[in-house]
Amino acid sequence: MFRKVLIANRGEIALRVISACKEMGIRTVAVYSEADRNSLHVKFADEAICIGPPRSAESYLNVPAVISAAEIADVDAIHPGYGLLSENANFAEVCRASNIKFIGPPPEVTRMMGEKSTARQTMKKAKVPILPGSDGIIASEGEALEWAKSVGYPVILKAVAGGGGRGMRICRNAAELPGLYNQASTEAAAAFGNGDLYMEKFIERPRHIEFQVLADEHGNVMSLGERECSIQRRHQKLIEEAPSLQITPKLREELGKTIKKSLENIGYWNAGTIEFLMDEDGKIYFIEMNTRIQVEHCVTEMVTGIDLVKAQLRIAAGEKLNSIVTSPVEIRGHAIECRINAEHPEKFTPSAGKITAFNVPGGNGVRVDTAQYSEGIVPPYYDSMIAKLICHGKDREEAMNRMQRALSQFVVQGIHTTIPLHQKIFADEEFRSGKFDTKFMERFLERQKEA
């Protein structure tokens, strides 16, 4: 096992990784920006190194600064967390060249999956269901028109380098396609430095369902079941749960097997997530793969009892999956996560500043992952998520009731948070019914306006 690990991240995920390391007897090195001097990840790591000014581009995203810190501290490995450098194949390559183990998949696979149309083709070859769409990049408006005609409108244009909704356009007829093609391409070029597009049949009211996988460096892959992530606003997830009410044990088993085979073929390792859309008929289609640990990994941990971050560390140290997960994966009960953001709950504008009071709920079936504390500062430079509140119950009903109880005991003063918004969602009949799709938040916010 590693002697010493550097955590190239901040906030709750940096603390999450530090916690896993502490329990495994691994020494930890935090890196931090000037704005994070008083952060808990700095306080709880064995060592901490300042790597630059507040802005991420000058600190957490500064590859030479992170690598220098790793060399000075003489670490064996780097855990990138999520976001920041976690899906940067160049960073993983620099780690490899510097003889530092990158805790994640090999850079070749990260690069391939980052190229969304290539990922689509790879999954198609492995018999994972994909949506009707283009075979690779669409080079011109003319080609786009041809594909749209063969696939049938509506279609969606997506950036090959994209993800998270940027460089995407929904197109409903041939007349509007050329304009939307140019908009999407221009937006993608500005955002990702790559304007290449591909195309899929557009699903009007999809559910977003994703499968968690673990894979070791000896060719063994395992599915840990799915998460339902349809409650989102502007491509930011607000609530995630496991399992999904839409996935039968049979479908879970079958998809799990298909996913396992597909990832064995490409030489994937470490933790990963396969994203699917489910249409109104319950058919499920691959859309993209995330080659990192995700924010919402905790709901999978709660229902499987598997510590995913410890698993990541053990996989990266060369252990085999069957020594990490020693009994068959079972889904026990139901878990739901609320992302608590420092935002105005109605305007959704960021709310940075000093937290004057902070009370975290606890008790049976409640988990809070946060790096915030009373008198702490929420800096304006980073993602607005300040805590994750995760509740487990014997079934969805108990998990929801527990969440309502825990939300009522979660006190954050001095800044605005999304806690009041979450309380309203958990009182909403459509949410409680479990029958919703990615358009839920639009409908919900309309209902709130009327009320």
Q: Is 163 in the site for ligand MV4 (CB under 6 A)?
A: yes
136/219 with CB nearer ligand MV4 = 136
How many residues sit in the footprint of ligand MV4 (CB under 6 A)?
15
Nearest-5° Cα angle at 438, 243 to 114: 80
- Cβ-based neighbours of 101, under 8 Å, separated by 6 or more: 2, 76, 77, 78, 95, 316, 317
What does the alpha-carbon distance between residue 358 and residue 375 come to, in Å, rounded to a whole number?
8
44/153 with CB nearer ligand MV4 = 153
Taking the complex as a whole, the smallest distance from the CB of residue 105 to ligand MV4 amounts, in Å, to: 19
Within 347-376, which residues bind ligand MV4 (CB under 6 A)? none
What does the alpha-carbon distance between residue 156 and residue 151 come to, in Å, rounded to a whole number?
11
In the three-class reduction of DSSP (H, G, I as helix; E, B as strand; rest coil), residue 42 is classed as helix
Q: Is 2 in the site for ligand MV4 (CB under 6 A)?
A: no
Within 44-73, which residues bind ligand MV4 (CB under 6 A)? none
277/355 with CB nearer ligand MV4 = 277
Kindly state the tokens that stand for 295: 């924010």
Q: Read off the amino acid at residue 4.
A: K
127/235 with CB nearer ligand MV4 = 235
Span from 162-170, 179-187, 244-252, 417-425 in contact with ligand MV4 (CB under 6 A) = 162-170
What does the alpha-carbon distance between residue 6 and residue 27 come to, in Å, rounded to a whole number?
9
Q: Is 148 in the site for ligand MV4 (CB under 6 A)?
A: no
- Selecting among 169, 292, 314, 402, the annotated active-site residue is 292
Taking the complex as a whole, the smallest distance from the CB of residue 16 to ligand MV4 amounts, in Å, to: 24
Beta bridge partners of 277: 208, 285
Closest CA to 240 of 117, 337, 377: 337
The pattern of x and - marking residues 262 through 301 that bind ligand MV4 according to CB under 6 A reads: ---------------x---------xx-------------
Q: Which of 42, 131, 308, 385 binds ligand MV4 (CB under 6 A)?
A: 131
201/405 with CB nearer ligand MV4 = 201
194/423 with CB nearer ligand MV4 = 194
Taking the complex as a whole, the smallest distance from the CB of residue 379 to ligand MV4 amounts, in Å, to: 27
Q: Which of 165, 267, 305, 363 binds ligand MV4 (CB under 6 A)?
A: 165
The DSSP secondary-structure symbol of 201 reads E
Taking the complex as a whole, the smallest distance from the CB of residue 288 to ligand MV4 amounts, in Å, to: 6
Taking the complex as a whole, the smallest distance from the CB of residue 167 to ligand MV4 amounts, in Å, to: 10
In the annotation, is 292 catalytic?
yes
Strand 101-102 vs strand 221-233: parallel, antiparallel, or unpaired? unpaired
Reported as half-sphere exposure (CB side, CA atoms, 13 A), residue 71 has a value of 12
- Determine whether 62 is exposed, middle or buried from the number of CB atoms within 10 Å of its CB (0-12, 13-18, 19+): buried
Within 185-204, which residues bind ligand MV4 (CB under 6 A)? 200-203
Q: Is 157 in the site for ligand MV4 (CB under 6 A)?
A: no
What does the alpha-carbon distance between residue 176 and residue 168 come to, in Å, rounded to a whole number?
14
106/163 with CB nearer ligand MV4 = 163
Phi (first) and psi of residue 270, to 5 degrees: 75, -165
Are residues 310 and 282 in contact, defined by beta-carbon separation less than 8 angstroms?
no
Q: Which of 37, 96, 125, 235 binds ligand MV4 (CB under 6 A)?
A: 235
Taking the complex as a whole, the smallest distance from the CB of residue 228 to ligand MV4 amounts, in Å, to: 13
Closest CA to 425 of 396, 450, 404: 404
Are residues 231 and 436 in contact, defined by beta-carbon separation less than 8 angstroms?
yes
What does the alpha-carbon distance between residue 158 and residue 273 come to, in Å, rounded to a whole number?
19
Q: Is 438 in the site for ligand MV4 (CB under 6 A)?
A: yes
- Chain residues in the site for ligand MV4 (CB under 6 A): 131, 156, 163, 165, 168, 200-203, 206, 235, 277, 287-288, 438
So which residues are the catalytic ones?
292
